Structure 1
């Protein structure tokens, strides 16, 4: 190569570096000017905000009138969270790699178009027929489908350069807040990873971190045990009998007062219990009847941005609609959170 050619090549190289420097500097300035911490506090609050709350930037997003924090309304039926299409374990390195691959606006072809899950049809009775002995087969949870349609059709709108930049800013914000809200960050990162594949949730940790949720589960277990004793008494059982358990799907709303991490990660969830109840008649005449309820908690939640709320961050307004649009533009993808707890046994007695 002659000196003139080398000079031209050098000029082109320097010019390319200069352009790259300008782009990087612009991104850095944008990120520095943008309150990332406030963005995460406010936008993650926005994702699952179903009631007004004061945000880090001082704004109060509009509430969803359909929410009833701490209530347990019946919700759509569902299936075994361990079943269905390959759930992602949430490994951050895999998610970051997938996110880099998908920034051009296309997600995984493996993601299901139908996010509902097949399951059993237990009817309205959470207790199945009694069987002599102390063990029965655990039923499959009921069929389940998302309670709403989410943000709309995936990859149905054009993505503009500023939409790609917005996604990068959200990714940075999610990573920044990983230490404070690890599960909220993980779930948001999975949304941005753009695969649409189900993501496993640690239900045992959720129950431990959200005592009101655990209390509601325990309340149902006690009720199942007492009902089973009544039925065994009415049937005149003289030995141990066991009832299969398969409750209908119910809703539980995790408020920020219960756990900010799980409020931002999940918010409202659908859950049911499967397992069994064994009833033991009194060992002496007139003695108490004893029950043992052994069940697990199955959980589903459709992760989407579908509210009509907004959050003011200084002079900038961030809306659910903007983040929902990433799904419609093929830059992020809604998905199903799912999980099941270990089996836990609750015991109790009922007077004879």
Structure 2
């Protein structure tokens, strides 16, 4: 089957297995070139099939030789429909890890469920007895409560008033104004239920109860703050409320884990093109400006560079990680440098359809958008037949 990107409303509906495999291979090559990583050797990644979760697993496995278990919810190919990008990325990781002689296990299922937690605990006992490092990188729009069966949906909306801003189409590079209505109290509560820290805490408690969380274990969950430009929609909106809850959960878990020598952290990461960020008004436009500025300054990083720096310079140095006033690790430090943000704000005021190609790295945004789905790699012949079930 010949696979070309099928995009609707800034969402890519398919994925290319060859491109996804190359994505993983390039990340592994970067880790190997960077050299050994100091990190725990028994690692669980919840939300391991793409983005920061996948890069965390690659960094731990290929940088530190860790045994890894990855949990993710992805869909295989069916008929003429391709598998999800995360499915192909996970399959590629397993193939490369196997070839490198690295112990690994991927669990495909609903990470919110009791069943997947129990299956993961069994696999930990069988494969590594206990885990020393737990990464929580779960991103989902829907959560089904495992006890009540009730479904919750997250929304990305402002709180208190409607939000209007320019938006960039990640596929075409076109600029248009977007309006997002203010959230209801119910939408706020449901977003916190899906994207907050409740499930992270349930995972840690389940691992403790199952006897598979090692004394001194460290856990980290990933978050984002972003610039003041996007605060009305993001950090001051429904997702921001969920991130506040995630950070409160980190402080609570840290208190508990300290009793056995462990720690819990939130890592605030850099803004990057993801399947989620591509549909958030104003964010792709901000990313276009940010990419150009950070590339010009030699500061641009992708997920694998971010994870390597997090492990090597923040989490596992043998010393207390540097944190901000709220106890968060800031791996977005280069993004939020004053000189970077000053330039972003200056250029933001100049954006028009005509000036954007000069002010923003539109091609870089489009390229990253395609690559997270396995498209846009010059090394891949996208006119060739491929097996979608690979």
TM tier relative to shorter chain: under 0.3
Answer 1 or 2: higher relative contact order, Cα 8 Å, separation at least 6. Answer: 1
TM-score scaled by length of structure 2? 0.20
Higher helix share: 2
When Rg is computed on C-alpha atoms for both structures, the one with the higher figure is 1
